[in-house]
Chain A
Amino acid sequence: MKQEDINLERRGFLANSGLFVGGLIVAFHVPSVLTKAMAAEAPSPKTVYPPNAFIQIAPDNTITIVINKLEMGQGVNTSMAQLIAEELECDWASIKSISAPVDPVYNHTVFPMQMTGGSTALSTSWDQYRKLGASMREMLKMAAAKRWGVSDSEVKAEKGFVTHPKKGKLSYGELAEEANKMQMPLNPPLKKSKDYKIIGQSIKRVDAVEKSNGTAVFGMDVRLPGMMYAVVARPHIEGGEIASMDEKAARAVPGVLDVVKFGKGKAAVLAKNTHAAKVGRDALNVRWKENQNSKASTDDMMKDFRERAEKKGLVADERGEVDDKLKGAKKTIEAAYEFPFLSHAPMEPMNCTVNFDGKTADLWSGHQMPTMDNGAAAKVLGIKPDKVNIYTTYAGGSFGRRASKTSDYVIEACELAKVVKKPLKVAWTREDDMRGGYYRPMNFHKVSVGFDDKNQLLAWRHHIVGQSIMANTVMAGMIKNGIEETVVEGVAKTHYDIANFRCEQTRADTPMTTLWWRSVGHTHTAYAMETMIDEVAEVSKQDPLEMRRKMLAKSPRHVAVLDLLKKQTGWGKKKAPKGRAWGLAVHESFGSVVGQVAEVSIEKGQPRIHKMWCAVHCGQVVNPEGARTQVEGAIVYGLSAALHQQIQVKDGQIVQGNFNDFPVMRIQDMPKVSVEFVKTDEPPTGLGEPGVPPSAPAVANALYQLTKKRLRALPFSRELNA
Chain B
Amino acid sequence: MDIHINGKTIPINMDGDTPLLWVIRDELNYTGTKFGCGKALCGACTVHVDGEPVRSCSFPLKAAEGRKITTIEGLNDKVSVAVQKAWVDNHVPQCGYCQSGQVMSAVALLRAKPKPSDQDIDNALGGHICRCGTYQRIRTAIHQAAKSIG
Across the interface, do A395 and B95 meet the contact criterion of CB distance under 8 Å? yes
Interface size on A, residues (CB 8 A): 69
Interface contact A208-B87, CB-CB below 8 Å = yes
Q: List chain A residues, Cβ under 8 A from B97.
A: 218, 346-348, 396-397
| Segment 253-289 of A: residues with Cβ below 8 Å from B | 254-255, 272-276, 278
Of B35, B38, B99, B135, which one neighbours A211 at CB under 8 angstroms? B99
**In the complex, which of the residues B22, B31, B39, B42 contacts A273, with contact meaning CB atoms closer than 8 Å?**
B22
Say whether A399 faces chain B, with CB atoms less than 8 Å apart.
yes
In contact, A349 and B93 (Cβ under 8 angstroms): no
Say what secondary structure dominates the interface of chain B: loop
Stretch at the interface among A437-445, A493-501, A632-640: A632-640
B30 / chain A contacts, CB cutoff of 8 Å:
214
- The reply on A73 being an interface residue by CB < 8 A is yes
Asked whether, in the complex, the Cβ of A632 is within 8 Å of the Cβ of B42, the reply is no
A217→B134 CA distance, assembly (Å): 20
Contact at B129–A664, with CB atoms within 8 Å? yes
A residues within 8 A CB of B36? 347-349, 430
Q: With A255-B15, A629-B134, A636-B135 as given contacts, are A214 and B73 in contact (CB-CB < 8 Å)?
A: yes
B131 touches A346 (CB 8 A): yes
The chain A residue with its CB closest to the CB of B89 is A204
Interface string of B74-96 (1 = CB under 8 A from A): 01000000011001110111111
Query: Given A223-B29, A633-B132, A667–B96 Cβ distance below 8 Å?
Result: no
Inter-subunit contact A632/B38 (CB<8 Å): no
Bound CA span A59–B125, Å: 45
- Max chain B CB contacts within 10 Å: which of A218, A229, A628, A633? A633
**B131 touches which of A345, A635, A658 (Cβ 8 Å):** A345
Contact of B29 with A3 in the complex, beta carbons under 8 Å? yes
Task: Report the minimum CB–CB distance from B67 to chain A (whole Å).
Answer: 20
Task: Considering the complex, give the chain B residue whose CB is closest to the CB of A217.
Answer: B31
- B126 interface residue, CB < 8 Å from A? yes
Q: A211-B93, A214-B32, A629-B137 are in contact. Are A660 and B122 (CB under 8 A)?
A: no
A659-B41 contact, Cβ under 8 Å, with A214-B71, A214-B100: yes
**A209 interface contact, C-beta 8 A:** yes
> How many Å lie between the Cα of A673 and that of B134 in the bound state?
11
A216 neighbours in B (Cβ, 8 Å) = 96
Question: Is A347 in contact with B42, judged by CB distance below 8 angstroms?
Answer: yes
The complex places the Cα of A544 from the Cα of B149 at a distance, in Å, of 47
Q: Is A27 an interface residue (CB 8 A)?
A: no
* Chain B positions 19-58 with a Cβ under 8 Å from a chain A Cβ: 19, 21-22, 25-27, 29-39, 41-42, 44
Selected contact of A637 from candidates B44, B98, B131, CB within 8 Å: B131
Whole-angstrom distance from the CB of A120 to the nearest CB of chain B?
Answer: 18
Bound together, the chains give a CA A431 to CA B37 distance in angstroms of 8
Residue of A nearest to B32 (CB): A214
Does residue A626 face the partner (Cβ distance < 8 Å to B)? yes
Q: What distance in Å separates the Cβ of A45 from its nearest Cβ neighbour in chain B?
A: 32
What residues on B are CB-neighbors of A430 within 8 Å? 36-39, 42
Q: Are A632 and B133 in contact (CB under 8 A)?
A: yes
B9 at the interface (CB under 8 A from A): no
* Distance of A197 Cα from B126 Cα, bound (Å): 39
- B interface with A by C-beta (< 8 Å): 14-15, 18-19, 21-22, 25-27, 29-39, 41-42, 44, 71-73, 75, 83-84, 87-89, 91-100, 103, 121-122, 125-139
Is A212 at the interface (CB under 8 A from chain B)? yes
Structural contact, B92 and A208, CB atoms closer than 8 A: yes
| 13 A/B residue pairs, CB under 8 Å, sorted by A | A204-B91, A212-B96, A212-B99, A212-B103, A213-B32, A273-B26, A275-B19, A632-B137, A633-B133, A636-B130, A659-B39, A666-B127, A673-B136
| Cα distance A255–B18 in the bound complex, in angstroms | 11
Q: Which 4 A-B pairs have CB atoms at the shortest separation, nearest pair first?
A: A214-B32, A636-B133, A396-B97, A211-B96
Q: Evaluate contact between A667 and B122: CB separation under 8 angstroms.
A: yes
Q: Which of B71, B72, B131, B136 contacts A397 (CB 8 A)?
A: B131
Instruction: Provide the residues of chain B in CB contact with A346, threshold 8 Å.
Output: 95, 97, 131
Q: Which residues of chain A in 3-61 are interfacial with respect to chain B, using CB atoms and an 8 Å cutoff?
A: 3
Which A residues are CB-close (under 8 A) to B27? 273
Which of A3, A229, A347, A628 is within 8 Å of B130, CB to CB?
Answer: A347
Chain B: CB-nearest residue to A399? B131
Question: Could you tell me the distance between the alpha carbons of A396 and B94 in the complex, rounded to whole angstroms?
Answer: 9
Judged by a CB distance under 8 angstroms, whether A417 is at the interface is: no
Q: How far is the CA of A152 from the CA of B61 in the complex (A)?
A: 67
Q: Cβ of A485 < 8 Å from any Cβ of B?
A: no
- Add 17 more A-B contacts to A217-B31, A430-B38 (CB < 8 A): A209-B88, A218-B97, A220-B31, A223-B31, A254-B15, A275-B19, A276-B18, A347-B36, A347-B95, A349-B35, A396-B97, A397-B94, A430-B36, A632-B134, A636-B130, A658-B39, A659-B129
Q: Which residues of B contact A658 (CB under 8 A)?
A: 37-39, 41
